Structure 1
Amino acid sequence: MDVKLNYKIEKEYLDNVLVYLNDKLAEYIENRRDISDSIVEYRKKFIEEYRDDDDKIIDYFDHENYKNEQIFMVVERKIKEILYLKKTPYFGKIVISEDGKEEKFYIGSYGFDVGLEVPLIIDWRAPIASLFYQGKIGSLSYTIPSGEDICVSLNERIQFLIRDGKIISMFDSEIDVKDEFLKEMLSLKSSNKLKTIVQTIQINQDKIIREDRRKSIIINGVAGSGKTSIALHRIAYLLYNFRNYFKDRVLILCPNKIFMEYISSVLPSLGEYGGVHSYTSEDFIYLSTGGDLNFNSYELHMEKILNDKEYLDEFKFKGSSKVKCELDKFILDVEENINLGGDIYFREELIIDYEELNRLFYKSFKSRAISVRIDLIRKRIFDRINKVRNSFVFKIKNKYESMKVHPDMENYYDMLMKNEIYDVVRESSDLKSSLHYLKLESSYELYREFYEDYFSKDLGDLDFGDLVLIKYIDIKFYKPKKDREYKLVVIDEGQDFSYMFYEVIKLCTEASSYLVVGDLNQSIIKFEENFIYSTRVLENKEDFTILDSYRSTKNIIDYSLKYIDNDICVNSIRNGEDVLYYECDYDNLRRLLIESINNLRLQDKTNIGIIVLNQSMIDKVYNMIRSNFYIKVINNEDHVYSDNGIFLMTVYLSKGLEFDSVLVIDSGFEDNILYIMLTRAMHKAIHIKIKNVIP
C-alpha cells in the first residue's frame, strides 16, 4: 500500500478513536458529578431524618466513606486511563487472518472497548497482543488463559510513535521492535520512578512475562537488562489474565525502601492499583517472627559487611546450606531429648505413664510441629487431671451430704467440705504448674542456645542472617499460621540473598510460584552458594539469562565488564561517550569532583549520582563539596530519591537505581563493586581512582 495512503488511513482511525475517547471521558466526568450529587443529596435527607440519632449518623458516614471510596476509585481510574490514552492511544497494530477472516487489532497500555465488533484498543496483556511481541510475521499462535493455543496468520505488524494524539512516525516492524524507536525511548533522561516498557518489550522479555503462571522463574540478567521491569510487567499480566487466582495474593520483596519507592508507580501505570503486597525482605522476615526482636538496621548491617571481614564470614556461614545441616541436627537433638518427665500421679491415681507420653509425642502426634505436640500432650494431661479432680470433688460432696443429719452441724460440715475441695483444687493447680517443663522455649531462646553452643560466644546484637535462622526454627518448632496466602512471590536483587533465605521464604509462604531476578555479577555478598543454586529449593523452576542491556551505553557497558570475573558478551544498542578515568591523590579529589560536576551540568546532565563504598566516604565527600553544590545525601533507606539533583550514596543503596551520569569514587575495593557502580549510569560515567591511602 502507498505510504501516504497508509498514513491517511491510520490518521483517520486515530481521529476516530480520539472522538470515542473524548465522548467516553465526558461520560465519565458526568457520571462522577452525578454520583457526587446523589451522595450529597441522600446525605442531607438522611441527616435530616435521623438528626437526633448520633449512632445512626455515625454508622451512615462510615458506610458512605466506604461507598464513596469504592465508586470514585473506579471512576477516577477510568478517567486517568482515558486521559493517558488521549495522548498515546496505542503503539502497535497487528493484522491477522483466522479461518479466512482478516481482523485488525490496535495495542495500547490499556484496553478501550465501546461495544463494536472489535475493541478499538486491546490491552497489551491480552493473549492476542502477544502476537505483536513475537517479532515475526506468518503462522503464529497465542495461548488463552485456559491453556489452549490459537493458531493464526500474522499478516502485518506496525509500530506507532504517537505523542499528544498525533502520529509522529509509523513503520512496519516485521523482525522486532525497531531499533530507532527503542533507542529514542532509551535516550530519555532518567527518572525518580521506574517506567513501564510496554511499548518496547522485546521477544525474550515477552516470553518470560507470559510464561505459565505455575512456573517459578529465575532471571540472571546483566545490569540494565530490564529484570525488574519484566517482573512487574509479569505481575500485571498475571493479574489481568488470572485475577481471581492472584488478586491480593502477590508478594514483592525488595532490597530496601528506596528501591521499593522507586518501583512503586509501575503497577498503577499498568492499570493495577491493588492486590499486591510489598515489603523489604528484612521487614517481611522481621514481621513474620512476631515483630518484637531488635536487630541491626539495613545500613549498619551493610556497613559491617563492607568493613568487617569476621562479620562477613559469619554472615555468609549463617546463610549457607551448611548451617541448615547444623540447625537440623540441633532441631533433631531437641526433639529426641525433649523432657517429657515420667509417670504423673494425682493423689496416688495415675494420670499418664511415661510410655504413653513417649507414644503420643513420637508416634501419635509425630506429623505435628514439636510445639503443637507438646501443647496436645499438656491438654490431654490437664483434661485428665481435671477429670480426676472432679471425681474427688464429687466424692467429697457425697461424703458430707450424708453427714448432714443434724441441722445444727450443717454449717460445720459445709466448712469442712469446702476446705477439702479447696485442697483438691489447689493440689490439681499445683500439679499443673509443676509441669512447666512441658513447654517449649521461644524461637529466639532456642536459636540463642544453638548459636552460643556452635560459635562458643554470646549471641549479641541480631542481624538479618539471625532473623532468617530464627524464622527457620520458628517454622520447624511452631509451624505458625500464615497471615495471608500467597500465590506468587517476587524477589528482586536476588543475588544478595542466601540459601537459607530462599529456604525460609519457601517454607513460610508456600506460594505456588516464585519470580526471582538478580545478577550474579552484582553480588555485594559473595555467598558460597549463589542465587541460581540456592533457588533450586523452589519447585518447577526455569532459569533465564539475559545479556541485553538497555540502560547504559555500549561504552559504559564495555568499560564496566573489565571489572567482573566471568567472560560474558553483553549487547547494548546505544553508543555514547567513553568513560572518563582519572587517578588522583586524595588531596586533589575535591578539585576533580567540582570540575567534573560543573562539566556535567554544562552538558545538561541534571541527574547525577556520586557513588561511594561506605558511610565513611559519604562523610568525607560531602564535607569536600557541600559548600559548592546542594548535595542530596542518601545514607539510609528512609531517604527519598527524587528526579533531579546531585545524589551522594553508598553502593548498596544505589542497587537498581539509575542516573543520567555517575561519578564513581574508587577508594580501593573488589572489582565487581565497580561494575555495580558504573552500571548505574545511563549516558555518562566518570571513574575516579584515589591512589594514596585515605586519611
Structure 2
Amino acid sequence: MSAFQSAYQEEQQRLQEVIVEIDRQLERLRGIPVYTGHDFTEQVLEAGREEKRQALAKSLPEPYFGRLDFQENGVGERKRLYIGKVGLDKEEAGEYPLVIDWRAPVASLFYSFTGGTEPASFEAPEGIIEGLVYLKRNVVIRKQILERVSDTYDRESGGPAVSDEFLVYRLGENKDHRLRDIVSTIQAEQDQIIRAARNTALIIQGVAGSGKTTVALHRLAYLLYQYKEQVSADKMIIFAPNLMFLDYISDVLPELGVGDIQQRTFADWAAEQLDIHVTSQDRLETMAQWFEGDPRLGTPDVDGHTSGRYKGSLELMKLIQTCVETLEAGALPGDDFSPWDGAVLPRETIAEWYFKEYRPYPLAKRKERVLTRIHRWVEMELKKSPSAAVMKERKKKAAQREKSYAGKWPKFEPLALYKMLFGAVKSSGLWPEELTSAIPDSVKSATRSDLKQNVVREEDLPGLLYFHCLLNDIASDQRFDHIVIDEAQDFSPFQVAVLDMYVRGHSFTILGDLSQGIHAYRGVHAWEEMSSLFSEENTAYYALTRSYRSTMEIIEFANRVLENGVRSDLLAVPVFRSGDAVRLIPYSDPAMREEDIKQAMRALLEKEYRTVAVLTRTLQEAKALHAALNPEWPELNLIDGSEQTYQGGLSILPVYLSKGFEFDAVVMADADTNHYADKAWDAKLMYVGCTRALHELWLLHGTHVPRYVDAEPSEIVAKGWPPA
C-alpha cells in the first residue's frame, strides 16, 4: 500500500468515526423536548442545547478541513488536531476536542506554520506555547464524502516544506454567484490580519484578488469568538459600495456561523441617521456623470478641489467645527425674557445656564435644556399670581412669548446649517461671511445649485453627519464595537473621521486598493490620508501583495497595465496557477463589433464556465450592448448599479461597477483609445476590468489600443482569435 493510500484510508476511517459521533450527539439532543416555559435557568440550558444542535447539524456535511499533528515541548504525546469551521467536543470528560474551531489559539498554527524543522509556537491565554509540528494535512470533505487528502508538510517523510498544491487546487475551481469563505486556505499573512488586536484601526492595502474582503469578514468572526464578552454581532457593521455587492458577500458570515452583523452602504446608513432622503438613483447619476466626464465633478487626473474631494476633506471638517463654535457663541438671544409685563428673567441668568451649567451638552440638547428651564421658571412665577383669572391670562401670554423667544434661537438642524454654509439659504448673521470664504468658489457654486433644489449627494453626507454629531448626542445604542470599510480607497478621510465618533476604541478594519481608486473625485490618493486620523499606537498597516484570484498570465498582464499606465509599484504577486494567454482581439470591422463580441461569448460559454461577464466603458454602452445580445442570451443580466442581488451566470456591466466581483471569464469590450485614454485614471479602470477574471481574459478592441495595453508581446498575450 502506498503512503497516499494509507493516508487516505486513515482519514476515511477517522471521518466515519466523527460522523457517527456527531450523529449520536445530534440524536440525543433532538430527543430532548424543547423547553418553552418561563424558568430562566431552563431557558439558558435550552439555548445552549439549541446552539449545540445547530453546530452539529452545520458540521455534519463537512466536519473539518485540516489536520495538524503537534507535540508541545516537554508535554506528553503527539496530538492529532482536526480543524473545522465549528468546534466540537466529545461528550466523555477529559477527551481532547473532536474538532477544534478554526479561531481557537492552537488552530492558528495550521495557518502560520510554513514548514521547516524548527519549533513552532502560538499564543494561548496562558502564554506562548511552543512545540513541534509533525504533519500538516488538508482534506476536502463534501456531503460526508472524503474527496481529497493532501499533505503539505510531513516532518518524517523528509519531503519539501509546505507547497501551494492544495491552494492551487481550490483556486482552480469555477465560481458561482456568491463569495465563499476561505477557512481551509487562509494564508499566514491573512491570518495575521484576522487575529490582530481589537482596538486598532487596521488599514489593509490589498492588490486585486488578495482576498482582503474575505479576510475582513473572517476577522469579524474571529473577534466575536475571541472577545465574546466585549463585542456583539449586532454592534458590528460592514460598509460596502452597493447593495449588490452586499448580496454577493452575504453567504460568507453565515457559513462561518455568524449572524446579525449589519451590512449597509454608507449613504443608506448616514441618511437614516440624518432622517433625510438620498436615493440610490441620485448616487448612480453622480457616478455616471463622473465616468462619462461631467466637468462639475472635476478632472480625474487633477488632484485639486473637485467637489467630492473638498467635501470629503478634513479641511471642511475643521471649517464646520469652527462654524459650530461660532454658532455656540452667538446662539443665545440678546434680550432678557419677560413672560408678561412686570416679570423678567435676566439674560445673565439664562447665559449662566447656557454657557456654564449645560456646557457639557451638545448644542441642540443645550438649547432644549435652557428652554425647559425657562418654562419651569415661568411655572414657578405663575404660582405667585394674585388670582386664578390673572394666572390664566399670564399663562396664555407666557405661552406666546416662550414660543416667540424660542424662535429667536438658531435652528440646530444639520441640513439647514449645511445649506447656510454653502449659501443655499441666508445665514441670518449666524457666522461672518469671511468664515465660509475658504470654500472654493467652484465647489460652493455647484453645491449651492444642488441644495437649492433640495438635492443631497452622497459626498454631502459626511458634512451633514458631522453637523449632526456636534449638535446632538450619539446614543449608546448607536455606537459600534467594530466597523469594516470595504473599497476604502473610495471613502474620504472625513467619512472615516465621522465614523470614528460612532465606534468604540478606534476599532476599524479599513481595506482597499489604491490601484483601483477609480472614484478619484471623492476617494483617497494615499493611505496616509486615513492613518493620519489615528494615533500611531492605535494604527496598523498591512500590505497583501499575493493575488489568489487570477492566473499568472492575467496577473502579469494587469501588472503591466499598472506599470506602464499608472507608474505604480503596488503590483500583485501571483500564485503559481497557469492558464490560457490573455487575448487582444481586434474587431474584424467596426460594423461587426457586436457580432465579434457574440463570437467571443460563444467561444467562452462552450468551456462551461459558470460566470462570464462583458465589461463596457460606460453604462450607456452596457445598455445598448445588452439590447443587442439579449435575443441570443435571454438570461444575460444587465447590471446598472440599482440591483439588490447578484444573479451570477452571464452579466454585462460598465467596468466601474465590476469592482469587488470576480468572474470565471471576462470579455472587455472596446479596450481601445476611443474608450480608454493614455492617462493614469483610464489605466486604473482597465486594471479593474482585467483583474475581475479568474481563468480567461479577452480584450476586444478597435484600431488602436492604449500604450499600457500594447506592450511588448510575450507568452502571456496572444493576438487574434484562438484557433478553431
AA paired with 1:344?
F
Whole-Å Cα distance in 2 between the matches of residues 530 and 692 of structure 1? 30
1:99 paired residue number: 74
Of 114, 118, 139, which aligns to 1:161? 139
2:656 paired residue number: 652
User: What SS does structure 1 have at the residue aligned with 2:646?
Assistant: coil
Cα separation, partners in 2 of 1:100 and 1:450, compared to 1, 3 Å: same
Number of aligned positions between the proteins? 639
More deviation in 115-124 or 281-290? 115-124
2:359 paired residue number: 366
Structure with the larger helix share: 1
Cα separation, partners in 2 of 1:318 and 1:583, compared to 1, 3 Å: farther
AA paired with 1:558?
E
Asked if the contact 1:222–1:548 (Cα under 8 Å) also holds between the matched residues in 2, the reply is yes
User: What SS does structure 2 have at the residue aligned with 1:158?
Assistant: strand
1:285 paired residue number: 270
State the shift of 1:292 in Å. 4.7
Whole-Å Cα distance in 2 between the matches of residues 361 and 474 of structure 1? 19
Query: What's the TM-score once normalised by structure 2's chain length?
Result: 0.82
Of 244, 248, 252, which aligns to 2:238? 252
Within a 5 Å distance, the mapping from 1:26-41 to structure 2 comes to 26-29=24-27, 31-32=29-30, 35=33
Residue 546 of structure 2 corresponds to residue 552 of structure 1: no
Residue 196 of structure 2 corresponds to residue 205 of structure 1: no
Residue 91 of structure 2 corresponds to residue 118 of structure 1: no
Cα separation, partners in 2 of 1:351 and 1:22, compared to 1, 3 Å: farther
Of 79, 94, 100, which aligns to 2:57? 79
AA paired with 1:215?
T
State the shift of 1:293 in Å. 5.6
1:487 paired residue number: 481
Deviation digits for residues 551-602 of structure 1 (CA, Å, limit 9, x no counterpart): 0111111111233311344211222222111344643310210111111112
2:408 paired residue number: 437
Within a 5 Å distance, the mapping from 1:464-613 to structure 2 comes to 464-510=458-504, 512-526=506-520, 527=522, 529-530=524-525, 532-536=527-531, 537-539=533-535, 540-564=538-562, 565=566, 566-573=568-575, 574-584=577-587, 586-613=590-617
Cα separation, partners in 2 of 1:293 and 1:580, compared to 1, 3 Å: closer
User: What SS does structure 2 have at the residue aligned with 1:576?
Assistant: coil
Deviation digits for residues 280-310 of structure 1 (CA, Å, limit 9, x no counterpart): 2221111111255667543223112212131
Q: Which runs of 5+ in 1 are unaligned?
A: 43-58, 60-64, 397-416
AA paired with 2:121?
S
Query: What's the TM-score once normalised by structure 1's chain length?
Result: 0.85
Asked if the contact 1:159–1:177 (Cα under 8 Å) also holds between the matched residues in 2, the reply is no
Asked if the contact 1:611–1:650 (Cα under 8 Å) also holds between the matched residues in 2, the reply is yes
Asked if the contact 1:133–1:203 (Cα under 8 Å) also holds between the matched residues in 2, the reply is yes
AA paired with 1:576?
G
State the shift of 1:489 in Å. 0.7
State the shift of 1:482 in Å. 4.7
Asked if the contact 1:289–1:474 (Cα under 8 Å) also holds between the matched residues in 2, the reply is yes
Of 421, 438, 442, which aligns to 1:450? 421
Deviation digits for residues 495-520 of structure 1 (CA, Å, limit 9, x no counterpart): 11111111111123345410011000
Asked if the contact 2:26–2:53 (Cα under 8 Å) also holds between the matched residues in 1, the reply is yes
Of 687, 694, 716, which aligns to 1:675? 687
State the shift of 1:143 in Å. 1.7
Whole-Å Cα distance in 2 between the matches of residues 163 and 294 of structure 1? 45
AA paired with 1:544?
Y
1:332 paired residue number: 325
Of 305, 310, 313, which aligns to 2:290? 305
Cα separation, partners in 2 of 1:311 and 1:179, compared to 1, 3 Å: same
Cα separation, partners in 2 of 1:640 and 1:345, compared to 1, 3 Å: closer
Whole-Å Cα distance in 2 between the matches of residues 477 and 295 of structure 1? 27
Within a 5 Å distance, the mapping from 1:619-634 to structure 2 comes to 619-630=623-634, 631-634=636-639
Whole-Å Cα distance in 2 between the matches of residues 258 and 67 of structure 1? 39
User: What SS does structure 2 have at the residue aligned with 1:133?
Assistant: helix
Cα separation, partners in 2 of 1:265 and 1:295, compared to 1, 3 Å: closer
Asked if the contact 1:160–1:167 (Cα under 8 Å) also holds between the matched residues in 2, the reply is no
Cα separation, partners in 2 of 1:533 and 1:210, compared to 1, 3 Å: same
Larger Rg: 1
Residue 208 of structure 2 corresponds to residue 223 of structure 1: yes
AA paired with 2:569?
D
Asked if the contact 1:662–1:680 (Cα under 8 Å) also holds between the matched residues in 2, the reply is yes
Cα separation, partners in 2 of 1:113 and 1:576, compared to 1, 3 Å: same
User: What SS does structure 2 have at the residue aligned with 1:119?
Assistant: coil
CA RMSD of aligned residues (A): 3.0
Whole-Å Cα distance in 2 between the matches of residues 292 and 648 of structure 1? 29
Cα separation, partners in 2 of 1:169 and 1:481, compared to 1, 3 Å: closer
Cα separation, partners in 2 of 1:433 and 1:70, compared to 1, 3 Å: farther
Cα separation, partners in 2 of 1:151 and 1:23, compared to 1, 3 Å: closer
AA paired with 2:594?
R
State the shift of 1:690 in Å. 4.0
Whole-Å Cα distance in 1 between the matches of residues 275 and 393 of structure 2? 40
Asked if the contact 1:556–1:684 (Cα under 8 Å) also holds between the matched residues in 2, the reply is yes
Deviation digits for residues 19-70 of structure 1 (CA, Å, limit 9, x no counterpart): 242243254246436537x98xx9xxxxxxxxxxxxxxxx9xxxxx999999
Whole-Å Cα distance in 2 between the matches of residues 294 and 568 of structure 1? 35
State the shift of 1:197 in Å. 1.2
State the shift of 1:628 in Å. 2.2
AA paired with 2:150?
M
State the shift of 1:672 in Å. 0.3
